[in-house]
Amino acid sequence: MEHLKLQGKLRSRILGLHYKANSGHIGCSLSCIDIMISILKFKEPSDTFILSKGHAATALYAILNETGDIPGEALETFYKNATTLPAHPAPLKYGAIPFATGSLGHGLPLAAGIAKAKKLKPSQGISYVLMSDGETNEGTTWEAAHFAIAHKLDNLVVFIDKNGLQGYGNTADILGDTASAKVWEAIGFDVAEADGHDVSAMLAIKQKLTENKNGRPKLIIANTIKGKGIPYMENKMEWHYLPMSETQYHEAVKKIEADYNC
């Protein structure tokens, strides 16, 4: 559990951002912060990362503050007027956020384009993208996936934050499982599944996949819990939308401090 403290620290930071802003998308950020640690805390300078599930912006802001890419003073302005940090990442504000996102389905084509450019030049580095499972409903997912396969983009690594919930229900009840390992493998990705809250496991899988330059793009299906770390939020669709009350916030902070040793 070597990353536990950091996972807790960033959760506290995320909760703080949401509480001060009285904003939603809390469950969304808590389900993927650990995935982002495994990418952004261990990134090479030539790697790129796109947060395709842009509504998890607070997770991105929290970790980029940790890496020094977003200064603390900027973080203070989150969600406020005249901010560079709105609820979904904005364009052309920070080098570590190459593309603004917010409408789902944009990140995979963008990341595939970056990967394609790296192949063409050629240049080093992995093109990472983090999607949500609900997001894989989008048609562009499949357009981009087939492009990546056809163009042998083995420098493209896709993470799917698979928490089984989407905007208005369970993924299983809406369009079914569009983040299925079988399907992605069958069409031509190298696929691995991981506990999306086990940073060490994700790091190991990531390394194994990226070392395999076999022409197949890579997918890591990260099995996650929406709202992970806060029992009253876990697995609840409504925590996509709700802000915390004062009581809820303090309860959440205490729980994180206790469980994550931070």
Partner 1 sequence: MRKHFSAYIEKIAERDDIVFITGDLGYNALENLALKMGCRFINAGVAEQNMIGIAAGMASQGYQVICYSIAPFVVYRCLEQVRNDVCFHNMPVYIVGNGGGYGYGIMGASHHAIEDLAVLSGLPNMHCYVPAFIEDMNECLDEMFSARSPAYFRLGLGKNMPTYLSLKDYGAASVVNIQAELTIIAQSPVANNLVSALKDNPVMDKTEVFVLNKMPLQTLPAAVKASIARTKNVLTIEEHIAIGGLGSAVSLLANELSLPINKFISLHAEGYPGGLYGSQGYHQQLSGLDEGNISRIINSYFNLS
Site residues for partner 1 per CB under 8 A: 91-92, 98-100, 102-103, 105-106, 108-118, 120-121, 123, 127, 139-140, 143-144, 146-147, 150
- Comparing CA positions, the residue from 56, 59, 37, 84 lying closest to residue 199 is 37
Q: How far is the CB of 76 from partner 1 (least distance, A)?
A: 25
Query: What sign does the CA torsion over 82, 87, 91, 96 have?
Result: positive
Q: How far is the CB of 48 from partner 1 (least distance, A)?
A: 8
Q: How far is the CB of 37 from partner 1 (least distance, A)?
A: 24
The residue among 112 and 202 lying less far from partner 1, judged by its C-beta, is 112
Could you tell me if 75 and 58 are in contact, meaning their C-beta atoms sit under 8 angstroms apart? no
DSSP assignments along 44-113, one per residue: -TT-EEEESSGGGHHHHHHHHHHTTSS-HHHHTTTTSTT-S--SSPPTTS-TT--S---STT-HHHHHHH
Q: How far is the CB of 121 from partner 1 (least distance, A)?
A: 7
The residue among 56 and 201 lying less far from partner 1, judged by its C-beta, is 56
The residue among 92 and 186 lying less far from partner 1, judged by its C-beta, is 92
Q: How far is the CB of 101 from partner 1 (least distance, A)?
A: 8
- Comparing CA positions, the residue from 15, 16, 9 lying closest to residue 37 is 9
The residue among 126 and 230 lying less far from partner 1, judged by its C-beta, is 126
The residue among 49 and 260 lying less far from partner 1, judged by its C-beta, is 49
Exposure letters 99-121 (e unless 16+ CB within 10 A, then b): bbbbebbbbbbbbbbbbbebbee
- Comparing CA positions, the residue from 42, 47, 34, 25 lying closest to residue 5 is 34
**Tokens 């390394």 map to which residue?**
207
Q: How far is the CB of 120 from partner 1 (least distance, A)?
A: 6
The residue among 45 and 139 lying less far from partner 1, judged by its C-beta, is 139
